[in-house]
Amino acid sequence: MSTTPSEPRHVPVMLDRCLDMLAPAVEAPGAVVVDATLGLGGHSEALLRRFPEVRLIAVDRDPAALKLAGERLAPYGDRATLVHAVYDEIPEVLERLGVPKVQGVLFDLGVSSMQLDEADRGFAYAQDAPLDMRMNQTAGISAAEVLNTYPPGELVRVLREYGEEKFARKIVEAVVREREREPFTNSARLVELIREALPQAAKRTGGNPAKRTFQALRIEVNGELTVLERAIPAAVAALAVGGRIAVLSYHSLEDRLVKGVLAAGAATTAPPGLPVVPEQYQPRLRLLTRGAELPTEDEIAANRRAAPARLRGAQRIREALK
């Protein structure tokens, strides 16, 4: 069934909380807000609707998402500028558009609802599909290529580091054995292999036993953590004084990275023991959340994809001195 702008396939996670967090910075006339992860445009549409004078710059690496979101946001005309880019390219995007500083940035990380729902993208372990997992299907290597070509040691690293998979070695031993017999092409075969490779006790807890491996492959294929390491500091640097950033993460690796960048910006860099902290050592950010905020039980009941979400935010309180 086709999806039109009036039939969105997803419910934006923690939408009202994200808008409330950004509101003090973006409700003034002329404010510019960046949606770093456009997806199907749910957060973007809500921003444009709630803040009638805001200008939106939205980026996504997925051409299919840009097309659908473009249809959805068409009624807002030139208030919305959509750009095909990865979110660590935001500084270049803003420079091209002649925008020196912005008042708000929103990240909704991870895989989008559209990518999960499109069977042929290969993101979901619950249905058989080609093992692709590329957010931009015009570039990069697929999950099948990772499984079929990476040396065993490198595959173990990917599963341990990005999937936090305790049984990475067992799974990789089975993958290497199977790929020599026949290369991997589809997800169902991988899911079955993981089920057979894991001990019985591991299969009784924590949901689908393939979840961590699929997460690891997706992160590796799209370079998600490497991109995020560059993107969050770049987004903070793009904020005007008074500007705000809100970041939704969906697993501990993302959240840990976001927490580190925002906490570092909110800390003094002065050597210990100084009676007065000079301006160049003063914090650049003020944290807007105590720890990570979680979705409510009601939201999780209405939208199961909100369950793992963690929201962090910060406000720019001073420029970095050059």
Tokens, residue 293: 């905020």
CB 34, CB 28: distance < 8 Å: no
41 is in an annotated binding site: yes
CB count within 10 Å of CB 175 equals 23
Q: Compute the distance between CA of residue 115 and CA of residue 121 in angstroms, rounded to an integer.
A: 6
Three-state secondary structure of the chain? CCCCCCCCCCCCCCHHHHHHHHHHHHCCCCCEEEECCCCCCHHHHHHHHHCCCCEEEEEECCHHHHHHHHHHHHHHHHHEEEEECCHHHHHHHHHHHCCCCEEEEEEECCCCHHHHHCHHHCCCCCCCCECCCCCCCCCCCCHHHHHHHCCHHHHHHHHHHHHCCCCHHHHHHHHHHHHHHCCCCEHHHHHHHHHHHCCHHHHCCCCCCCHHHHHHHHHHHHCHHHHHHHHHHHHHHHEEEEEEEEEEECCHHHHHHHHHHHHHHCCCCCCCCCCCCCHHHCCCEEECCCCCECCCHHHHHHCHHHCCCEEEEEEECCCCCC
42 is in an annotated binding site: yes
60 is in an annotated binding site: yes
108 is in an annotated binding site: yes
* Residue list for the binding site: 41-43, 60, 87, 108, 115
Q: Which amino acids are annotated as binding site for S-adenosyl-L-methionine, given as ranges? A: 41-43, 60, 87, 108, 115
